[in-house]
Amino acid sequence: MRKDIHNSNIPVRCMSCEVRHKGMCGALSADELLALSAHTRLVNHESGDELAGEKMPAESYATVIRGVVKLTKTLEDGRQQIVGLQFAPDLLGRLNADENAVSVEAASDVNLCRIPKAALERMVKSNPALAERLMAQTLRELDEARDWMVTLGRKTAAEKVASFLLLIATHLDPEAVGEKRQFDLPLSRADIADFLGLTIETVSRQMSKLKADGVISIVANRHIEVPKVSKLKACCGS
């Protein structure tokens, strides 16, 4: 993990935070936000930084302010699977758990708002609305995990890649209207492969096929354009 010398002591102005009304902070009053800002620290990480290790003690929680974080699990022999992606304004960390169940890594450059373990847990105990919001996020993550199990277990490689592109398009620009979408992939081909249970080569071939079929255009390596979302959706098998 990269040392974040320049980040270690940035005060946080929760009231003017860009995710102020989203995520867990939306459940907090002005007073509570003020109290919270005494504990929180803004930190930046660059793509590839490991934020927490699988089976390591859990030290703090963090809210994603900007960027994408990947949650991975690894088998002894090195086979890896991405088991979740977190976007702003998700909270990282399992409530009341002492140990990480997954490894947490910055998939892109990210801004996080760190909250010490005890501070968040205290606040959850005294604020049922906050507890309820965290429950809602956890249920949403469970739904996403189960949706992804269908993709992993029952979809073809072509459907998997299309489903992934749709997932990214949806998350990076949730308010988009009309049929057109364009975005930068926050993940490398290797990461996409780890997410989809495929190899790099298969991901690459399926992307080329989607391009050849006119479903997407690959403007730059990472920059994708989707002329008609409905056409992409039709490739997802669901």
Partner DNA sequence: GCGACACTTTGATCTCGATCAAGAAAATGC
Partner DNA sequence: GCATTTTCTTGATCGAGATCAAAGTGTCGC
| 12/58 with CB nearer its own copies | 58
Does residue number 128 form part of the binding site for its own copies (CB under 8 A)?
yes
| Residue in the structure block whose two tokens are 């209207």 | 177
Task: Choose the one of DNA, its own copies, none that binds residue 96, judging by a C-beta under 5 to 8 angstroms depending on kind.
Answer: its own copies
Task: Choose the one of its own copies, DNA, none that binds residue 203, judging by a C-beta under 5 to 8 angstroms depending on kind.
Answer: DNA
DSSP three-state, residue 170 = helix
Distances (CA, A) of 179 to 17, 94, 182, 208, 228: 31, 36, 10, 21, 5
Footprint on residues 150-209 left by DNA (CB under 7 A): 156-158, 188-190, 197-205, 207-208
Does residue number 217 form part of the binding site for DNA (CB under 7 A)?
no
User: What span, in angstroms and rounded, lies between the C-alpha atoms of 63 and 130?
Assistant: 14
Task: Choose the one of its own copies, DNA, none that binds residue 99, judging by a C-beta under 5 to 8 angstroms depending on kind.
Answer: none
Task: Pick from 118, 142, 190, 219 the residue near its own copies by CB under 8 A.
Answer: 142
- Cα-to-chain-centroid distance, residue 95: 17
Strand partners, 45: 110
Task: Pick from 10, 152, 157, 218 the residue near its own copies by CB under 8 A.
Answer: 152
Phi (first) and psi of residue 180, to 5 degrees: -85, 145
Q: What is the per-residue DSSP string for 126-164? A: H-HHHHHHHHHHHHHHHHHHHHHHHHHHH--HHHHHHHH
Residues that bind its own copies (CB under 8 A): 71, 73, 75-77, 79-81, 83-84, 94-97, 101-102, 125, 128, 131-132, 134-136, 138-139, 141-143, 145-150, 152-155, 196-197, 237-238
